[in-house]
Amino acid sequence: MKKRFIAAILLLVFVLITPKIISSQTQNRTLNFVESIKERIETGHLRGYTIDVLSYDAGWFSSQAQYKLTINYQDIDGNSNIPENLSNPTFVIDVTSYHGPIFLSTETGFGWVRWDARVDGEKLRDDLTWDDDRGFYESTTTWELFGGWSVNDSVAAFRSTEVPDTSVEFSGYQGTGYSSHEGFNYDASIAFFRANTPKVSINLDNFKVVTLLKGDFTQILEGNLEDSHLAMSVQSYKQTAKQAGNQSGEFQNVEWLFSAVTNQDKNSMSFTQRFSIEEFQLAEYRAKNLLLDAEISSISKPFIDAYQNFSQQLPSYDPATQQMEVKRFIQSNMLELLSHQPEFNIKELSGNLPEGQFTLVSDSTLVGVTALPESLEDPKFWLEHLDSQSNLIADEAVIKLIAQNYMTRQILANPRAAQITQEQLEQLLEQQLPVMLQTLEQQGMLVKENDVYKVDFTIKDGEAVLNGTPMPLPF
C-alpha cells in the first residue's frame, strides 16, 4: 500500500512538474529556431519572406505566442519583375502550445507538446465569407510521447461576397501529416474551386497532394528534397473564355509524380518524373493519353549542393553581373557534373493526337569527360562524349503535322515572306510538304511501314547512325 502511495505521489509530481520543464525548453527551442530561420534569410539561404516574434507569454501548462510572417515579393523575384507598388502581405499567426504529458485544453490528449496555430484573416472578410467560429487557416502539430510527429491543417471553405458578375467558391483545404521511419508523410486535398468573372470562368475538381519528405524542417524550406517523393493530381480543370483574347481549355485526370533519390554511392542522385494527362482540349484541339516519363540520373551531389547555394545567392547580385556570375559558376562546377557520366532518359513520350499516335523513347549519357573544352558552346565536344539512342514511332499524319509546323516556321522566318497571306502559305505547304517527306524517305531519314513512320537514331564515339545507315555529323 505504501509503495503504491509513493508511486502515485511520484506520478503526480511528474505530471505536475514536467509541463513546466517542457514550457521552458519549448520557449528556448522555438525562439532559437526562429533566430536560425532569420539568420538563413539574412545569409540568402531562405528567400521570399521574413518572420518575427511579436510576443511570447510562457505559462506552466500552456503558452501563448504571436508571430508575424511577411511575404517579400521582391526577394522572390531577384530581377524585380514584381511591380514596386505591390504591397507585401503580412500575416499574424497566433500559436498556443500545450505542455504534456497530459494536454489540459478543450481537447484532452497525451504527448510532449501540442501547438495550435491560427491565422484569423479578418481583413479578408471584407471580400470573403466563411464560418465565424474558425480562422482562415488553422493547424495542430503534436510531438507525441514516443517521439513521432503529427500535423493537421486546414484552410476554411469560403465564398466571395456579392460582387457584380464575379463569384468565387472554395471547398476548403485539408492536410494531414505524420512522421515515420521513412520520413515525413503529408497528404492534402481540395475538393473544388470555382471562379466566375466577366472574362473567364474556372472550375477545378479534386486536387490532391501526397508527399514523403526527408530532412529537417529548415532543409525542406530551402528546397533540399533529397530522397523525397511527390504526387499531385487533378481530376478535372476547365477554363471557359467569355471574351475575345482569352482561351478556353480543359484537362481531365492530370497526374504528376516526382522523386529524388540518393544513389548507393552516396555521391550522386537520380530524379524521376512522370506527367500524364488523360484528356486535354485547347480551343477546338483535343488530345488524349499524353505521357512524359523521364529520368535524370548520376547527377553529382556536390554539384547539386553547389547549385542550390548559388541559386540562393544569385538574386542578390546586381542584374548587370548575373550573367557573368552564371558563367563563372558553370566554368567552376561543370566538370564535377560531367565527370559522373550524367544520364537523361525519356522512358516514354507518347500521346494520341487528332492526327494519330506517337511514341518516343530516348536514352542519353555523357561519357568520358575528364576536362572541359575552351568553350562549352563547342558542339564537337558534346557530340564526342554523347552516347545516345532514340526511337520514334508515329502515324503518318503526326509526322506531317511536325513537318508542316517546321516548314511554317522556316517560311515565316524569311523576310521575303513578310507579306504572305494565310491562303498563300497553305498553298505553299500543300506543294512542298509531300516533296519534303519523299526526300526524307529517299535519304533514309524516315522509314515508312504502311501508314507508320519509324526513326532510329544513335550517336556513339562521335559517330551517328540513322536507321541503320552511318550519317556524317556537321562538326
Q: What is the pLDDT of residues 42-62, one digit of tens each?
A: 776 677 778 888 898 887 788
Asked which of 86, 119, 152 is the last residue of a domain, the reply is: 119
Whether residue 177 lies inside any domain: the answer is no
Whether residue 100 lies inside any domain: the answer is yes
- pLDDT tens sequence across 103-155: 776 666 777 888 899 999 888 888 889 999 999 999 998 888 887 889 999 99
pLDDT attached to residue 215: 64
The one-character DSSP state at 226 is: T
Tally of domains within the chain: 2
- The pLDDT confidence band at residue 421, using thresholds 50, 70 and 90, is confident
Domain that holds residue 407: 395-471
Whether residue 207 lies inside any domain: the answer is no
Distance CA 340, CA 118 (A): 47
Whether residue 109 lies inside any domain: the answer is yes
- pLDDT tens sequence across 310-339: 887 777 777 788 888 888 999 999 999 999
Average pLDDT score over residue span 275-282: 94
Whether residue 104 lies inside any domain: the answer is yes
Whether residue 433 lies inside any domain: the answer is yes
N- to C-terminal Cα separation, the chain: 94
- The pLDDT confidence band at residue 76, using thresholds 50, 70 and 90, is low
- pLDDT tens sequence across 135-149: 999 999 888 888 788
Instruction: Say which residues have a Cβ less than 8 Å from residue 213's Cβ, sequence separation at least 6.
Output: 183, 184, 186, 220, 225, 228
Average pLDDT score over residue span 164-179: 91
Q: Which helix (H) or strand (E) holds 436?
A: helix 422-442
- pLDDT tens sequence across 205-232: 999 999 998 765 555 555 566 788 999 9
pLDDT attached to residue 79: 47
pLDDT attached to residue 99: 79
Residue, of 237 and 161, whose pLDDT is higher = 237
Whether residue 68 lies inside any domain: the answer is yes
Average pLDDT score over residue span 62-79: 75
Distance CA 250, CA 194 (A): 14
Phi and psi angles of residue 265, each rounded to the nearest 5 degrees, phi first: -75, -5
pLDDT attached to residue 28: 83
Average pLDDT score over residue span 393-414: 90
Work out the number of other CB atoms within 10 angstroms of the CB of residue 3. Answer: 7
Distance CA 198, CA 246 (A): 11
pLDDT attached to residue 223: 57
pLDDT attached to residue 216: 58
Whether residue 165 lies inside any domain: the answer is no
Asked which of 89, 104, 119 is the last residue of a domain, the reply is: 119
Question: Would you say 29 and 72 are in contact if contact means Cβ atoms under 8 Å apart?
Answer: no
Percent of the chain with pLDDT over 90: 39
Asked which of 85, 119, 153 is the last residue of a domain, the reply is: 119
- pLDDT tens sequence across 285-308: 899 999 999 999 999 999 988 988
Answer whether residue 14 shows pLDDT above 50.
no
- Residue 458 forms beta bridges with which residues? 389, 465
